[in-house]
Each structure stands twice: as C-alpha cells, then as structure tokens.
C-alpha cells in the first residue's frame, strides 16, 4: 500500500485564550494542499520502520508513525507491518507533515488489515498523537476549534487558484510560538471572513502568531511581503511558522534559493 500524506495550510489562526490545562484555545481553518510525503505500508512478520528523505531527529520509537502503529495495534490487535516513510515536507514549519504521516498510518493500517475503525475512532486515536493529527483523518477543509481537535467540515472552493509555499528553513518551536502571543481581539467570526472574496482576506484574515514571530525573525515577514509584491491575492504564515504561502490567480514563478513549491488547487 502506497499513501501520500499531504501538508496543510492554515487560513487564519486566532489564539483566543490560555486554558486552565495549559493549552490554548484557537480557531483556524485547515486546508490540505498537494504537497506530500510518501508512506509505504506492507504486511510483515516483524514490525519494521524505515525513514528516508529529509532527516528526522530522534530515534524511531519517538517518530509519530511508530507511535501511531503502536497505538493502532494495541487497539485493534492488527498484525505487524513494514512502514517506510519518505520525508519530503519540511519539519517544524507549520505544514503539519508529521501529523499527516501519523494519521495516514492509522488510515493505512485500518484499510490494509480491514479493521473497520470508524472515522470517529481514528480521530480519537489521532488526538492522542497530536493536535493537528485528527484533521488528516479526512481530506476536506475543516474548521478547528478548542485546541484544534474540535473539527467541523467547511465549504471552501479554491479550485483554479495557485499556491506558492516558501519555507526559510527556520524551526519555530511551540514554546517560542506561544511565548510572545497576543490573544486575538477580532470579534469577526473566522467562517464569515472566509466567505468573503479572497481579495478581501488581506485586511481581515490574520494569523495571530505573525506579529511576534516576524519581530523575532524579520526574514519571515519579508517573505510574506515578497509574495504580495509578486502578485499574491492573499499571503500568510501558516500555523506557528515558519512557512509562508501566497494564493495567486496566475501561476507564479520560483524566485529564491529557499525551499519553494508552486502547485494548483484542483
């Protein structure tokens, strides 16, 4: 079985408050984009995990793919498997690649071994692996609330638009991302903003992480401005960074020596 876990972008990200459990209450719209890792899952007498492509720090047992396998096997007593992850999505970049890999392991094992786990069961397991993981159980745009795991489908049509993604190779950790956060003051519900024409998003659709991340890393903010200078209808940092993206009506060109990708929504 060959699977292609996608990256995601955040269209707007409000950080509303800090919860009593230490986590933060957020609101965001997440959209999967055609930029993928590659995941191979095969039946095997012994469990084996292999990772190639971009280097992933840590030992195999700390990899989310392995944690997903252990969790699924414990729940459904499925056979062992050989899992090969080819890592192509940059890590620590706000693109959710590791979360996608973990959720696609759950999805792949469920299909391969015909375990008949429901989407709700897969999401419950995915929640144990990370706050972005439940999003990748489904392929549709979704609104994320709470810690990001309270999900609901959201109708959004970006077909025909182009997406340009630039990753500057700067790792933004969770501690850094939240340490300087200013809670959202916008009273306008995110779902209402997203129903406006994309040309209106520039002034109204914001990522609350941007202000202090751009202050600490001005080169990330400069990339956002570069995307607008190139003709983006809307540009933003995704997640807690450091990747920025622009949505274009016409196909943009590659312009830097950084990690860049251009793709078309379909």
Assign 248 to helix, strand or coil: strand
Q: How many CA atoms lie within 13 A of 70 on its CB side?
A: 11
- Contacts of 226-231 with C-beta under 8 Å, sequence gap 24+, read 226/166, 226/255, 226/256, 227/164, 227/166, 228/202, 230/164, 230/255
What is the sign of the dihedral through the CA atoms of 237, 239, 242 and 243? negative
Q: Is 192 helix (H, G, I), strand (E, B) or coil?
A: helix
Catalytic residue (choose from 14, 37, 101, 132): 132
Choose, from 8, 87, 164, 224, the residue flagged as catalytic: 8
Does the annotation count 37 as an active-site position? no
Helix (H, G, I), strand (E, B) or coil at 178: helix
| Beta bridge mates, 260 | 166
**Complete DSSP assignment for 212-231:** HHHHH-HHHHHHHHHHHHTT
8 is catalytic: yes
Q: Which residues of 7-37 are buried (b: 16+ CB within 10 A; e: fewer)?
A: bbbbbbbbbeeeeeeeebbbbbbbbbbebbb
- Please list the active-site residues: 8, 132
């Amino acid at each position: 079985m060959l699977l292609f876990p996608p990256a995601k972008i955040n269209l707007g990200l409000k950080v509303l408050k800090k919860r009593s459990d230490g986590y933060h209450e957020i609101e965001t719209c997440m959209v999967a984009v055609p930029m993928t890792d590659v995941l191979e899952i095969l039946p095997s007498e012994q469990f084996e995990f292999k990772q190639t492509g971009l280097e992933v720090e840590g030992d195999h047992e700390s990899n989310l793919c392995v944690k997903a396998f252990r969790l699924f096997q414990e729940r459904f007593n499925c056979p062992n498997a050989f899992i090969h992850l080819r890592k192509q999505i940059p890590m620590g970049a706000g693109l959710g690649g590791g979360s996608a890999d973990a959720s696609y392991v759950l999805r792949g094992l469920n299909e391969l071994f015909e375990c008949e786990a429901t989407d709700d069961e897969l999401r419950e397991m995915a929640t144990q692996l990370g706050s972005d993981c439940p999003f990748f159980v489904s392929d549709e745009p979704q609104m994320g609330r709470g810690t990001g795991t309270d999900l609901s489908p959201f109708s959004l049509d970006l077909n025909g638009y182009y997406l340009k993604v630039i990753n500057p190779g700067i790792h933004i950790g969770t501690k850094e991302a939240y340490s300087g956060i200013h809670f959202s003051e916008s009273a306008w519900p995110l779902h209402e903003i997203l129903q406006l024409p994309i040309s209106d998003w520039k002034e109204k659709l914001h990522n609350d992480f941007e202000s202090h991340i751009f202050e600490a890393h001005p080169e990330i903010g400069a990339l956002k401005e570069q995307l607008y200078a190139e003709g983006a209808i809307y540009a933003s940092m995704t997640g807690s960074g450091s990747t920025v993206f622009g949505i274009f009506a016409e196909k943009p060109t590659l312009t830097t020596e950084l990690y860049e990708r251009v793709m078309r929504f379909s």
